[in-house]
Amino acid sequence: MHNLTIAELVKGLQEKAFSSVELTQHFLARIAKLDANYNAVITVTADQALKAAAAADKRLAAGDAPALCGVPILHKDIFCTDGVRTSCGSKMLDNFIPPYNATVVENFEQAGAVVLGKTNMDEFAMGSSNETSFYGPVKNPWASDSVPGGSSGGSAAAVAARLAPGATATDTGGSIRQPAALCGITGLKPTYGRVSRWGMIAFASSLDQGGPMARTAEDCAILLNCMASYDDKDSTCIDREVPDYSATLNDGIKGLKIGVPLEYFSEGLDPETEKAVRTALAEFEAQGAELVEISLPNTGLSVPAYYVIAPAEASANLTRFDGVRYGYRCENPSDLNDLYTRTRAEGFGDEVKRRILIGTYCLSAGYYDAYYGKAQQVRQLIQQDFEKAFQQVDVIMGPTTPSPAFKFGSKGDDPVAMYLEDIYTIATNLAGLPGMSVPCGMVDEKPVGLQIIGNYFDEARMLNTAHQFQQATDWHTLTPEGIA
C-alpha cells in the first residue's frame, strides 16, 4: 500500500479496496519499524490517527467523503496542532502544546485527512541539512551518511521512505525544494500569500510559505487543492480563487516557453547535476516546448540579501520566546534579566543564535540603512529580473541545488558554504514567486532535482508541466534501497 500514490489511495479508499484504518495501521507500523533509521518523525499521533481513520471509514461508507478522506499524511512540526506538541525542531518549544490548529492543519482536517504525526526539521526552519534540529539530524533514505536537506528534511525523508504518501512543509529560502531534490521527491513552494501562514511558526514572515511534498506532481496538486485557501486570520494571504490544480495536469505543453537562466548554470554547479538537468530540458523540448536563454543578472546578490532580510525578520519574530509566555524557561532565574538571558541561551541552538545576532545587528540604529535598507533594494532588483523574464517566457527551469546530497558534517564549520546550498532557490522567495522541484536524474546513486519556477499564482501551469515530465520519465518512481 505504501507504494501507491495519493491519487491511487483516494481511489482505493473510495472503491473500498482497503479501509482507512488498514491504511493508517500500515503506515504507523512502517514508522514504528523504520523511522529509527531516518529520524524523520518527532511525534507519532497513533491514537488520534486511528480514531480519525475510523471516522473517515464511516464517512466513506456513507458516501459522504471529502477530497482526502482517510488519506494519511504527516505535518512538518512547524504547523501548530491542537493538543499535540509542536516543537519547531527546538528545545525552546519541546514542551509546547498549542491550543489551536494552524489553518493548513484545519484545511486537512476538513478534507478528512488522517494525521500520522509531526516531522523533524531544522531548528525554527533555519538550515539546509537538518543538522540544526534539537531532535538530531534526519538521515537521507538514499544514503545514510548524507543529509536529507533542510529545513523540511523530515517531511522529505518520510515521503521518500514511504512512511507517508505526502507531507506538509515550508519554504523560506528553499526548504521545500532543496530537501525534495535531495530526497528524490516532488515539492512545491506556492506564491507568497497562496497558503495561510496562520499557526505556522514564523521564521521570516515576508518569505515563509507553506506547501506540499509528495512523490508526484499529481499528488502535489491534490494536496495543494487542500492547502491553498484565503484566510482572513493571515493579513498576507491573498483573496483569490483557488483553481482545481488537478484539472489541468494533462494539458499539453506544446509551445510552452521555458526560460533557462544563464546564471543557474555557472561556476559552482556540479557537472553531473548539470547534465541531468540539461537532459530533462531536452525532454521538454521533445514534448514541443521551446527553450529560451534568459538572464537573471542579480542572482548572485540573492544569498547576501536573504541573509540580511531573513535574520532581521527572525530576530524580531523570535523575541516572543522569552521564558514568560510559553515554551522553555530556565530554572531558578535570579531576576528578570537572568530569566531572559538564560532561557534564550539554553533554549536556542547555535544557528538560531547566529541568526538572531546577525538580524539584531542589521536592524540596529546606524546600520539599518546600510544593511536592511540596502537588502530591500536588492530584493526589488531581483523581483524586476523575474518580471522581465516572465514577459518572455512561461516558466523558468534550472537545477534546484548545486549538487546532490552532501555528507553529514561536511559544511558544519562553514555557515557560508551551507548558505550557498540555496543559491538557486532563494531568489524566488525574495520575489514571492512559486517554485517546485521534480526528480530528474541520479548522480552517485543520489537524486537530482529540476527546479521549475512559475509566474505569480501560476501553480497550475507548473504542476501541469511537471506532470507531463513525469508521464514521460520514471525518476519520481525510483525507490531507495531497503524501502520497498
Please, which residues bridge with residue 396 across strands?
A: 259, 453
Distance (Å) of CA 268 to CA 175, 176, 444, 484: 20, 21, 18, 35
At 311, list the grid cell.
535574520
- Closest contact distance (angstroms) between CB of 47 and ligand GLN is 30
Smaller CB separation from ligand GLN, 27 or 371: 371
Q: Report the residue from 172, 191, 403, 470 that binds ligand GLN according to the rule CB under 6 A.
A: 172
Query: Does 131 help bind ligand GLN (rule: CB under 6 A)?
Result: no
Instruction: Please check whether residue 395 is in contact with residue 454, taking contact to mean a CB–CB distance below 8 angstroms.
Output: yes
Q: Is 196 a catalytic residue?
A: no
At 436, list the grid cell.
517546485
Smaller CB separation from ligand GLN, 81 or 128: 128
Q: Report the residue from 148, 173, 190, 347 that binds ligand GLN according to the rule CB under 6 A.
A: 173
What single-letter amino acid sits at 483? I
Smaller CB separation from ligand GLN, 389 or 423: 423
Q: Is 364 a catalytic residue?
A: no
Within 386-434, strands assigned E span 395-399
Interface with ligand GLN in residues 422-451 (CB under 6 A): 422
Query: Does 127 help bind ligand GLN (rule: CB under 6 A)?
Result: yes
Buried-state track 165-192, b at ≥16 Cβ within 10 A, e below 16: bbbbbbbbbbbbbbbbbbbbbbbbbbbb
Query: Does 167 help bind ligand GLN (rule: CB under 6 A)?
Result: no
Query: In the block, which residue shows the cell 559552482?
Result: 268
Smaller CB separation from ligand GLN, 173 or 399: 173
Query: Does 128 help bind ligand GLN (rule: CB under 6 A)?
Result: yes
Report the SS3 class of residue 233.
coil
Q: Is 90 a catalytic residue?
A: no
Query: In the block, which residue shows the cell 516546448?
Result: 289
- Closest contact distance (angstroms) between CB of 94 and ligand GLN is 20
Q: Report the residue from 117, 165, 174, 259 that binds ligand GLN according to the rule CB under 6 A.
A: 174
Catalytic entry in 133, 151, 155, 315: 151
Instruction: Please check whether residue 74 is in contact with residue 167, taking contact to mean a CB–CB distance below 8 angstroms.
Output: yes
Smaller CB separation from ligand GLN, 72 or 173: 173
From the list 170-178, 270-278, 322-330, 383-391, the region that binds ligand GLN by CB under 6 A is: 170-178
Buried-state track 14-28, b at ≥16 Cβ within 10 A, e below 16: eeeeebbbebbbebb
Spell out the residues 6+ positions from residue 125 whose beta carbon is closer than 8 angstroms to its own.
78, 88, 89, 151, 152, 170, 172, 175, 201, 203, 208
Query: Does 125 help bind ligand GLN (rule: CB under 6 A)?
Result: yes
Q: State the binding string over 191-220 for ligand GLN (x if CB under 6 A, else -).
A: ------------x-----------------
Compute the distance between CA of residue 234 and CA of residue 175 in angstroms, rounded to an integer: 21
Instruction: Please check whether residue 425 is in contact with residue 451, taking contact to mean a CB–CB distance below 8 angstroms.
Output: yes
CA angle 422, 249, 257 (to 5 degrees): 60
Query: Does 190 help bind ligand GLN (rule: CB under 6 A)?
Result: no
Catalytic entry in 76, 189, 411, 446: 76
Catalytic entry in 87, 128, 175, 302: 175
Q: State the binding string over 305-344 for ligand GLN (x if CB under 6 A, else -).
A: -----x----------------------------------
- Closest contact distance (angstroms) between CB of 198 and ligand GLN is 18
Smaller CB separation from ligand GLN, 171 or 218: 171
Contact positions vs ligand GLN (CB under 6 A): 125-128, 151, 171-175, 203, 310, 422
- Catalytic residue set: 76, 151, 175
